[in-house]
Structure 1
Amino acid sequence: MADGMIFWLAPNGGDGGSTGGGWLRVVDGRIVQRGEGSDWRSATGLVALPADDRAMLAIPVGDVALHWIACPGMTVRQGAAAAPLMALESSIGPAGALHAAVLPAAEPDQPHLVAVADRVAMERWLAQASALGVPDAVLIPAALLLPPPEEGFIAGPVGAETVLRGTDCAVGAAEPHAAMIVADAPVRELDGKTVEEGLIAALLTPPLDLRQGSYAVRRASSLDPAWLRRIGVLAGVVALLTLVISLVTIMRLNFEASSLDARTLAVAREVLPDVKDVDDAQSRLAARVAARGGNSFTGIIAGVMVAMQGTPGVTMTSLSQLADGSVRVQLSAPRPEDINLVLAALQNAGWRVAANGVQQQGSQTIADISVVGS
């Protein structure tokens, strides 16, 4: 059920913080108090409107121009975007000084309802809402608080004025031109109770709120700043821990690699005491193997194995010795570059290498090579 306050502004009355009108207090969907003027707090005993209550200002019918604009050939969304522009173009006065709010049609071929008001008046109504203690109140044209007629006009009291709403126009009954607009069209009058039921329904579901675009209510973020700060701290801690883990992993891998190099160098110095480092040991051992092995099968295989040590991704898939004493080896690697590194290592070690063929099998590169001593 709707709880809140309904205010109306007097036609051509009130400026600044004065409404010149009156108010209704709604509790559980019923009007429980009413009054004139703007001092509703004293009458109701409320210091401020409860946080969950709603507030509505009924804008005098003569202060808002209503336009019913059809946009054939457009979708509802397209028409709702175009209709306010068309309404501003057809209004009196520069478009920059006017404000338009739209109630989109239910179907593409139905007209969109556009309310046009002066921007100076909009600022005045917002100031009045703030002075009343309801700065977020919706602003509804009084004519839209009456139900739309099927034909002719519907008349009813909204606040301090009697409103005449037609199928495509609205006017205050006290306006001099009202009789000309109504002419001989049928007029159905609503009693005050029926109108007030419509006001309560509009408080719960506003038919059209003038507070659109730059005048829309800006809702404050519902996120707790303290919670956001905690999230920021946790995110920083996670980032720091991730960095620490990465650094520890890098240090461990470097330590393991250094330890392996040290052991390799110690073994190599048992054969070549004057080697400087692991790279020097690998190249000199490969050269010694090639020199000692010559064209022997074991010598060539030893040379191939030494060359493969520098490229862990390369594997030997087949091996055979040819009649001329050369060894035919089939190598497999995920990248052609890896096989090229092995071939280069063999050549640097003094072996003569011939590539017999290279093919791609799935994700692996297969190379058939022949190796012979120099």
Structure 2
Amino acid sequence: MIITRDTHVTVEAPPGASLDASGPAGVWTLTGEALAVSDADGPATVLVPNEAARLLAVDLPLPTRAKRLAALPFAVEELIAEPIDSVHLALGIELSPKRYLVGVVRHDRMAEWIARIEAEGLGHAALVPDALALPQPAAGEWAVELGATRALVRAGDGTGFAIPVPLLRTAWDAAGKPRTIAYGTALPADMADSADALALDPLARRLLAPALDLRQGIYAVRRTGSGFWRRLATVAVLGLLAHVIIAALDTLALRNIANARVAETRELVAARAPGTALPEEGLASAVADLLPRPGAGGGANPFLAAAARLSAALTPLGADLSVRTMRTEGTSLIVDLDSTDPAFAGRVRTTLASGGIDAAVAPIDGGVRITSPLS
């Protein structure tokens, strides 16, 4: 039995990407000589020979399809003979929890198949290994379709293969003589002792949702036609709507920030200038009116200059410095500091004198008050 092996993970197309109604529909079979229609109904699907597509059941205990695709080369590289870069991997259905169907095909074979179907106007079709056209049997069983020269087998684990008829019994023995379900031609007597013989549903019905479409990644169907443009327009509209929603949320967030700043400003004015009434409108102008005016002749704001000088002089106090309030009264800057240290007033006085600041320092309840000229 010769089963070619190939594998290189390429980013997948979205599920259903191959079901594009931009050409002939129906199920077709690709052989070494021809492309023939097998069932005129159903979505456009081309069955490719399973001899050139290896099917594996691979454990991929990862939460997303993207992560499963990223891990796929590492999961299968010990199961195949070819270099990982020479093959294409396609990820199929979940066969059991965290276990997935994987198709392995050489890149040159994929390119050949796609060139052939595009030449026949079926470039929009899904590519499905033909063993997957058989129903999946129960665990430990084989579904077998016996032809004149080759047999298709779908195993109970969800995988499948094609094999020359003379080798079928050998493969069956090697697999432990699984119970068989025959479709079509009867199986050899020794394989059919416990076999069921069943009729197949129409091919198109079996392939409405194939277990694996090889048209993924760089081999995905290229979308064209009105359906594509409708989907593109939908994406554009959704993108525009998203921008509008984001802009609205940004506006709401900025409004909430502004409201928070207004509340903080009102609290600050209430703490620094008790009893001051602030209007509901024109808050910025009202707060600006509370600030000390520039000095005579248009000089710099004396409050800011005095506060800067005082702050620089008090820097040596470091972590011991805790400002309770800062305000102006007439031509003086009044700063109240919090402290429970009885010697703190002396330390402040010494520190200001060292910094060249002319200021009166006096103890107050729970702290120290500094009175310094604005100029």
Instruction: Report the TM-score when normalising by structure 1.
Output: 0.49
Q: Which has the larger radius of gyration?
A: 1
Of structures 1 and 2, the one scoring higher in RCO (CA 8 A, sep 6+) is 2
